[in-house]
Amino acid sequence: MTVLLPSEQPPAPPSPQRDSEERIRQFFLWALVAGIVPVLGLPVVLGLTLLGRREAASPSYQRWYRRLVALAILDVLVAAASLSLSGGNWKERARSPKVLAAPRVLGVTVDPDSSGPGLRLAEVDPRGPAAAAGLKAGEVVLRAEEQPLSSSQHLSERIQSLQSGAAVRLEVESGGARREVRVVPVEASELPPLPRGLFEPQPRGVPVLTRDTWKGVLGLVLPVGALLGLWGLGRRRGADTRPLLVLGALVVSGLGTWVASRGLSALLGGPSRGVVLLSGAVSAGGLLLVAAVLARRAPPVAEAPEQPRWLWVYFSSVGLLITLGARAMVLVGWVSQVLGALPDQNQHPMVEMARQGPLGPLGWSLLAIPSALLAPVGEELLFRGVLLPWLSGWMGRVATLVVSAAVFASLHLFYGVFAGWIFFLGLLLGWARLASGGLRAPMLLHVTINSVALLMLARTLV
């Protein structure tokens, strides 16, 4: 017989309500893992959703069950997208005339100072199909497909209008004689990299990085408009001018990049890949310094202090990155199939530059330190340290996450449709900030994401 002392209490019997809440949380976690495999994991997710349904339950149970239902709906969409992706070769569809085609090239550089008629070739890339067809620098291309040429853009349009694998007919003049040359254009990504030095100036008329004008315009207009709009809305609710500080930090970073690029190009004899890398390092470092000052001096916002479990939040975020990230990638891939957007057309500009030739230890250092350390820490200080707490002061939790992630994604529009993946990462980083109450978890997560992406890039170049 057990005798209880007056100060001792018998253990509390297990609560049915607590057991049911623990069960629905387990159902959610099981569904989260099962849905990593699209289509095959869907029956498990739907079965768990049916098993978890209850008419009368506690508010906590209902909250977890709503999350389970939302996950089931997401997995239904992912399964449909997966079946659509597996139903055909999306890259071949993207090459058809009805959708956006990958840029195809001949491997020539047109002399920008040539007055015509036709286009004088300044350089012929020995790796390209034009060199294989016998074209040489100094020759003049008068016509393409029997149409006179007045600009390099005109020639590019003629090339892109052809079916994949078709040859373009060129009328070429050399030494007073004319001949017809047939050249089959290839995708720019199919050309082997040039073995150029890191700081070797780029040939005249050939940019280090190709730029999409519309993406550049949208990448400027959208974040500026969003931050100004948030400032206006917050002002009506009595909030401070923090979005203007964020906008100012971005302007300072952009101006630093421009000044560094111009100055280094003049100092080192012209634009080169090394100049681009150094300019990127200046931009990332400047953003980090300005963001650190803003995060330190910004007016405080009432919020919970950072929890000691921030490392647990980090590992939970990694788990969500794997489970929900797999679903997000399928949906983004499906959207890219529908729009005919190819990954090679929607990648980070640094990826294109890294594939132009060996970077060497110095080049990789200049790429890795800003990309995997300076930029992630600076962006977290700015977006999750300055902007997100300001939003949480007058917005709900969900709205705060969505708006901050949307502004973050608007600065990465060079990814095109794949900026949807950046939006997902913005949601995840924002959740890590709110769940931990501090910046250590999102900073470490952001550094991890960029480091893994950099390692994957390095592996493709080996």
* Per-residue pLDDT reduced to its tens digit, 423-434: 999 999 999 999
Q: Residues 225-237: what's their mean pLDDT? A: 93
**What is the pLDDT at residue 445?**
97
**What is the rounded distance in angstroms from the CA atom of residue 267 to the CA atom of residue 299?**
41
Q: Residues 72-81: what's their mean pLDDT? A: 94
- 125 falls in which pLDDT band (50, 70, 90)? confident
For 158-215, what is each residue's pLDDT tens digit?
A: 887 777 778 888 889 888 888 998 988 887 666 666 556 788 887 665 666 666 667 7
Q: Residues 81-108: what's their mean pLDDT? A: 60
Per-residue pLDDT at 12 exceeds 70: no
Per-residue pLDDT at 102 exceeds 90: no
**What is the rounded distance in angstroms from the CA atom of residue 23 to the CA atom of residue 374?**
42
**What is the pLDDT at residue 428?**
97
**What is the rounded distance in angstroms from the CA atom of residue 330 to the CA atom of residue 335?**
9
Per-residue pLDDT at 120 exceeds 70: yes
**What is the rounded distance in angstroms from the CA atom of residue 399 to the CA atom of residue 391?**
8
Per-residue pLDDT at 156 exceeds 90: no
- 273 falls in which pLDDT band (50, 70, 90)? confident
Per-residue pLDDT at 77 exceeds 90: yes
**What is the pLDDT at residue 196?**
65
**What is the pLDDT at residue 19?**
66
- Is omega for the bond preceding 117 within 30 degrees of 0, making it cis? yes
Q: Residues 98-124: what's their mean pLDDT? A: 71
The alpha carbon dihedral of 230, 233, 238, 244 has a sign of positive
**What is the rounded distance in angstroms from the CA atom of residue 338 to the CA atom of residue 238?**
43
**What is the rounded distance in angstroms from the CA atom of residue 54 to the CA atom of residue 62?**
9
Burial-class residue 30 by CB neighbours within 10 Å (0-12, 13-18, 19+).
middle
Per-residue pLDDT at 89 exceeds 90: no
**What is the pLDDT at residue 88?**
53
The tokens describing 386, both together, are 């300055």
Distance, CA of 96 to chain centre: 25
Query: pLDDT: is 295 or 163 the higher one?
Result: 295
**What is the pLDDT at residue 456?**
87
Q: Residues 328-349: what's their mean pLDDT? A: 79
**What is the rounded distance in angstroms from the CA atom of residue 76 to the CA atom of residue 423?**
21
The alpha carbon dihedral of 395, 396, 398, 399 has a sign of negative
**What is the pLDDT at residue 4?**
52
The tokens describing 340, both together, are 């005919």
Distance, CA of 272 to chain centre: 24
Percent of the chain exceeding pLDDT 70 equals 83
Q: Residues 28-53: what's their mean pLDDT? A: 92
pTM across the whole model: 0.75
- 291 falls in which pLDDT band (50, 70, 90)? very high
**What is the pLDDT at residue 96?**
37
- 16 falls in which pLDDT band (50, 70, 90)? low
For 301-332, what is each residue's pLDDT tens digit?
A: 555 565 668 999 999 999 999 999 999 999 99
* Three-class SS of the chain: CCCCCCCCCCCCCCCHHHHHHHHHHHHHHHHHHHCCCCCCCHHHHHHHHHHCCCCCCCHHHHHHHHHHHHHHHHHHHHHHHHHHHHCCCHHHHHHCCCCCCCCEECCEEECCCCCCCCEEEEEECCCCHHHHCCCCCCCEEEEECCEECCCHHHHHHHHHCCCCCCCEEEEEEECCEEEEEEECCEEHHHCCCCCCCCCCCCCCCCCCCCCCHHHHHHHHHHHHHHHHHHHHHHHHCCCCCHHHHHHHHHHHHHHHHHHHHHHHHHHCCCCCHHHHHHHHHHHHHHHHHHHHHHHHHCCCCCCCCCCCCHHHHHHHHHHHHHHHHHHHHHHHHHHHHHHCCCHHHCCCHHHHHHCCCCCHHHHHHHHHHHHHHHHHHHHHHHHHHHHHHHHHCCCCHHHHHHHHHHHHHHCCHHHHHHHHHHHHHHHHHHHHHHHHCCCHHHHHHHHHHHHHHHHHHHHHHC
Q: Which domains are seen in the chain, by residue range? A: 17-87 (no CATH), 104-190 (2.30.42.10), 213-461 (no CATH)
Q: Residues 141-167: what's their mean pLDDT? A: 81
**What is the pLDDT at residue 208?**
66
